[in-house]
Amino acid sequence: MIGSVLAPASPGEMLRLVRTGRAVTRTQLVTATGLSRSTVMHRVGALLSAGLLVEGARPDGSGGGRPPATLALNAGLGVVLAADLGAQHGRLAVCDLEGEALAEREEPIHIADGPDAVLDWVGRTFDALLAEAGRHDADVLAVGIDVPGPVDVERGRPVSPPIMPGWDDHPVADRLAERYPGALVRLERDVQAMALAEHRRHHSLLRDMVFVKVATGIGAGIIADGEVLQGSHGRAGDIGHIRSIEPSEVLCSCGNHGCVAALASGSALVRRLKEAGYAVESSLDVVELVKAGDAVATHHVRDAGRLLGAALAALVSVVAPSLVVVGGDLADASEPLLAGIRESVYERCSPRSTQELRILSSRLRERAGVVGAATLALEHMLAPAAVDARLARRGVAA
């Protein structure tokens, strides 16, 4: 009775029970939902006929009689397109409904070329990847895309993104929705997609974690109680403009001076090393120097970590995560960067707040964004309410 009351399971909720492995046979669904066997049979039938579920292999039965058929999400029903757009490179993928990439490609781009040029490239690349995966436009069920700047998630548009000239209020999601009619499109800020990816793939048992991207700019994606924290206008985690602990006259693009992004980002490191006489053009050059054991570059990266760590100490006090994951181009120079970050965080936070805090490198590395884009599209598309609405459009009663 309690079961029935606590899980008023619509078909979409039943799909979630199957997808998460909590109930994978009709009998388990009856137990998990408390619904009558006939209702469960009816709803499973609707999910099967809509192609969302498939019957899997029958496991070996230990008792007599026919063992029950297992149910599974039909990962091959269609595909999800994922696009991770950075300031200087884009990574796109065609994924199945489990989020596994069927085809994937990374290319240098310039986000500052504006939405027309970049989204044309996205469209052409998706065409090529779909062909490579042997799939068609009509197979596209959802599209996830992330960009390096604040986003109005509801409207699917960037909001005054500082390093994306020409993109402000551009209808990115609408353009993709026109291109793939019927597909659900979701636009997110890059760090939020990356945080989601690291959480779902590697740390899904944690309630609270933070993903920090250290690349051309600096930003953080926050997972609170298992979900992405958006904040007003999707701006949560915009930590690049926290004032650094060291007085500085270095100007930031926001008009202030001394912001942590102006002192500890990839661009800041390029500037610092140029001033020290190095011929460096990008974060990648800085990482190369560190990997080659250059002491000056290593010193500057560690110092940047220290400055960033002071801002992260404030972030740790505010949201109390149990894990901070560090990603982005610069994270490939992880030893000095993490050493600097840890030094500041553990020095500046209260002992209680760091007692169980871990600070680790990204495990998905350069794939964090594209995995995140696929994940957010999938979670949106397979949310119980979205599945129920999909069935309702097909005329299936709940």
Q: Does 153 bind its own copies (CB under 8 A)?
A: no
Q: Which helix (H) or strand (E) covers residue 94, if one does? A: strand 89-95
**315 makes contact with its own copies (CB under 8 A):** yes
Task: Using CB under 8 A, pick the residue from 197, 220, 273, 337 that binds its own copies.
Answer: 220
Nearer to its own copies, 212 or 287 (CB): 212
Alpha-carbon torsion 347, 348, 353, 356, what sign?
negative
CB of 237 to its own copies, least distance (A): 7
Residue 353 binding its own copies, by CB under 8 A: yes
CA 149 to chain centre: 14
Site string for its own copies, 274-313 (x = CB under 8 A): ------------------------------------xx-x
Site residues for its own copies, 27-56, by CB under 8 A, read 34
| Residue selected from 120, 160, 169, 178 as contacting its own copies according to rule CB under 8 A | 160
Burial pattern 90-112, b for ≥16 Cβ within 10 A else e, equals bbbbbbbbebebbbbbbeebebe
Q: Does 207 bind its own copies (CB under 8 A)?
A: yes
- The residues, ordered by sequence, that sit 6+ positions from 36 with a Cβ below 8 Å of its Cβ are 30
Q: Which is nearer to its own copies, 172 or 220 (CB)?
A: 220
SS3 230: coil
Cβ count within 10 A of residue 235? 15
Cα gap 286→294, rounded to integer Å: 10
Q: 138-163 burial string, b = 16+ CB within 10 Å, else e?
A: ebbbbbbbbbbbbbebeebbbbebbb
Site string for its own copies, 107-146 (x = CB under 8 A): ----------------------------------------
Angle at which helix 37-49 crosses helix 26-33, to 10 degrees, equals 120
Residue 279 burial (C-beta neighbours within 10 Å; 0-12, 13-18, 19+): exposed
Quick one: 17 or 236, whose CB is closer to its own copies? 236
Q: Is 351 in the site for its own copies (CB under 8 A)?
A: yes
Pattern 231-270, binding to its own copies, x per CB under 8 A? Answer: xxxxxxxxx-xxx-x--------xxx--x-----------
Which residues sit at the interface with its own copies, rule CB under 8 A? Answer: 1-2, 4-6, 8-10, 12-13, 34, 150, 160, 207-208, 220, 222, 224-225, 227, 229-239, 241-243, 245, 254-256, 259, 310-311, 313-315, 317-322, 348-353, 356-357, 385, 388-389, 391-392, 395, 397-398
